[in-house]
């Protein structure tokens, strides 16, 4: 059972924060949490707990009712939520109280394994992207909240492997491809970007007609030559800057300031470097175009580096977002509102008693989720900072799930997954976080521990092989846009 939003509200009011299995192996039960165990944390930039009151927030849960592996989420200005994962584009226009399939099976081709979705925050155009084999993708879009759809296939060319597809949109600039818009009247209101990887690296293209065609672009510089050029989500800023995050050992971003005409590469500090098996770090940008790059560090915590100049330079000393209590983390995602107001979500484990015990390969576990012991439990965390640009930012973190999202390891390398009662690649590669026009945070995730797994205190990895589409969103608490103040619940109690 997922944590009830109103129970969490009560907690906020009353609480201040001052190995491979052998045939005869006995698996210990997961750690049973006491009612007074800490679920909320206020921390500094090193992850250390602070003796401060937490920002009051409650979160509402919604079960999408379909498989939700590798989910994307977006919210149109009408308040309709779009959850895109696997075969279907799911829609809720009643704040998650109910869900329905929105996808047009003719305009939107059926899936293979790499769905991706995007809602343009300027035009409200909803995109759904699917792979068709390994050489072609299908992009469909809707301009009426999913009532009708259009779509086209996109061939990746003669070089094999079209994978890790991503799409986003952002403002036109006055240089590069954006300069073309100064002399033509048929440009779509926003630039639409489409990236994927091939064996040679990362390829990114820009559409001038709202995603119908992608004629501009190609292989971008700063390639992630290790692991085939895998990359995270595309992010854009209000000033038109575009960010793509490659999968490399040192936290890195690839940046364009001219709508994808040219790219340059920048690295973060190596103090908490990211080993290659990590996937899908992400950048968000606030209303002043300050940028925030988040990733899982070498010590398995969630870290951030900031850019105050649209990606030109970055903090070289990383800031820890996750509390030190969280000793393992995966799938960090982020979005931002006004300057310094950001939110981050991730899956994390507080099972520090399991560190140095045997992992699934029989080696001492160091917190890497890929090798987590079979009874380690992972929850969903949501972290806010309302002063992320300060020299000493403060982070307010909520563990919002009552039962685990996953028990046991989480595959972080698709070519090296474990089969313990079913592959631990059940969650695939990422989750998602976006805010709506009022600055309300929405999180999409795949829940791997459902049914009896969620109620069984002795659940182990083999019980946790689901991928149920799930959403948490902010019910009450601070908007990421200051003008909206404190948000109130969208649903009646």
Note whether residue 492 is domain-resident: no
Note whether residue 439 is domain-resident: yes
Please give the residue range of the domain that contains residue 457. Answer: 5-487
Q: How many CA atoms lie within 13 A of 443 on its CB side?
A: 30
Give the CATH number, domain containing residue 202. 2.120.10.30
Listed residue (200, 191, 149) closest to 170, CA to CA = 191
Note whether residue 150 is domain-resident: yes
Note whether residue 230 is domain-resident: yes
Q: Which residues contact 353 (CB under 8 A, 6 or more apart)?
A: 31
H or E segment to which residue 292 belongs = strand 291-296
Q: How much is the pTM? A: 0.90
Q: Are 248 and 265 in contact (CB under 8 A)?
A: no
H or E segment to which residue 177 belongs = helix 177-180
Per residue in 8-42, pLDDT tens?
443 343 333 333 323 333 334 433 333 345 699 99
> Three-state DSSP class for 454?
helix
Note whether residue 378 is domain-resident: yes
Note whether residue 493 is domain-resident: no
pLDDT of residue 199: 67
pLDDT of residue 436: 98
Note whether residue 155 is domain-resident: yes
Both tokens assigned to 98:
């109910």
- Beta-bridge mates of residue 17: 52
C-alpha dihedral, 346 to 351 to 356 to 358, nearest 10°: -90
User: pLDDT tens string for the chain (493 positions)?
Assistant: 444 443 444 334 333 333 332 333 333 443 333 334 569 999 999 999 999 999 999 999 999 999 999 999 999 999 999 999 977 899 999 999 999 999 777 777 666 667 899 999 999 999 998 877 666 788 899 999 999 999 877 654 444 455 678 999 999 999 999 887 655 668 999 999 999 887 678 889 999 999 998 889 988 865 545 545 678 899 999 999 999 998 888 899 999 999 999 999 999 988 988 877 777 899 999 999 999 999 999 999 999 999 999 999 999 999 999 999 999 999 999 999 999 999 999 999 999 999 999 888 889 999 999 999 999 999 999 999 999 999 999 999 999 999 999 999 999 877 778 777 678 889 988 999 999 999 999 999 999 999 999 999 999 999 999 999 999 999 999 999 999 999 999 998 7
Q: Are 396 and 42 in contact (CB under 8 A)?
A: yes
pLDDT of residue 1: 43
pLDDT of residue 270: 85
Distances (CA, A) of 75 to 125, 139, 220, 471: 10, 19, 30, 12
pLDDT of residue 3: 43
Note whether residue 311 is domain-resident: yes
Domain count, the chain: 1
Listed residue (94, 34, 61, 141) closest to 474, CA to CA = 61
C-alpha dihedral, 254 to 412 to 42 to 487, nearest 10°: 70
Beta strand pairing call for 432-435 and 441-447: antiparallel
């Amino acid at each position: 059972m997922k944590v009830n939003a109103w129970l969490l509200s009560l907690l906020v009011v009353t609480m201040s924060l001052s190995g491979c299995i052998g045939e005869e192996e006995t698996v210990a039960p997961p750690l049973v949490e006491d009612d007074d165990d800490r679920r909320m944390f206020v921390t500094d930039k090193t992850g250390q707990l602070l003796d401060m009151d937490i920002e009051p927030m409650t979160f509402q849960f919604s079960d999408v009712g379909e498989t939700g592996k590798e989910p994307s989420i977006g919210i149109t200005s009408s308040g309709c939520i779009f959850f895109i994962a696997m075969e279907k584009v799911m829609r809720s226009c009643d704040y998650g109280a109910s869900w329905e399939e929105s996808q047009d099976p003719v305009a939107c081709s059926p899936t293979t394994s790499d769905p991706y979705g995007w809602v343009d925050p300027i035009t409200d155009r909803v995109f759904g992207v699917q792979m068709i084999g390994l050489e072609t993708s299908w992009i469909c879009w809707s301009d009426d909240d999913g009532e009708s759809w259009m779509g086209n296939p996109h061939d990746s060319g003669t070089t094999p492997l079209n994978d890790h597809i991503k799409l986003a949109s952002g403002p036109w600039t006055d240089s590069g491809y954006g300069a073309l818009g100064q002399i033509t009247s048929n440009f779509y209101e926003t630039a639409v970007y489409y990236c994927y990887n091939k064996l040679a690296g990362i390829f990114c293209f820009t559409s001038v007609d709202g995603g119908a065609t992608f004629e501009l672009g190609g292989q971008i510089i700063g390639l992630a030559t290790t692991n085939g050029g895998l990359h995270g989500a595309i992010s854009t800023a209000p000033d038109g800057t575009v960010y793509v995050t490659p999968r490399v050992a040192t936290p890195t971003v690839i940046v364009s300031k001219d709508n994808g005409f040219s790219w340059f590469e920048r690295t973060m500090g190596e103090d908490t470097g990211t080993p290659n098996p990590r996937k899908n770090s992400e950048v968000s940008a606030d209303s002043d175009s300050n940028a925030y790059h988040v990733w899982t560090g070498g010590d398995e915590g969630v870290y951030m580096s900031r850019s105050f100049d649209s990606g030109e330079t970055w903090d070289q000393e990383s800031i820890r977002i996750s509390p030190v209590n969280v000793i393992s983390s995966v799938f960090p995602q982020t979005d931002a509102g006004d300057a310094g107001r950001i939110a981050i979500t991730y899956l994390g484990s507080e099972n520090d008693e399991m560190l140095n015990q045997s992992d699934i390969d029989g080696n001492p576990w160091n917190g890497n989720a890929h090798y987590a012991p079979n009874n380690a439990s992972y929850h969903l965390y949501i972290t806010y900072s309302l002063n992320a640009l300060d020299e000493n930012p403060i982070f307010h973190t909520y563990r919002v799930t009552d039962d685990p999202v996953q028990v046991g390891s989480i595959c972080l390398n698709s070519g090296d997954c474990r089969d313990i009662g079913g592959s631990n690649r059940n969650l695939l590669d990422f989750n998602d976080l976006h805010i709506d026009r009022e600055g309300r945070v929405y999180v999409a995730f795949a829940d791997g521990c459902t049914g009896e797994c969620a109620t069984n205190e002795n659940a182990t990895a083999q019980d946790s092989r689901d991928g149920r589409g799930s959403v948490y969103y902010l019910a009450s608490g601070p908007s990421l846009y200051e003008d909206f103040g404190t948000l109130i619940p969208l649903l009646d109690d």
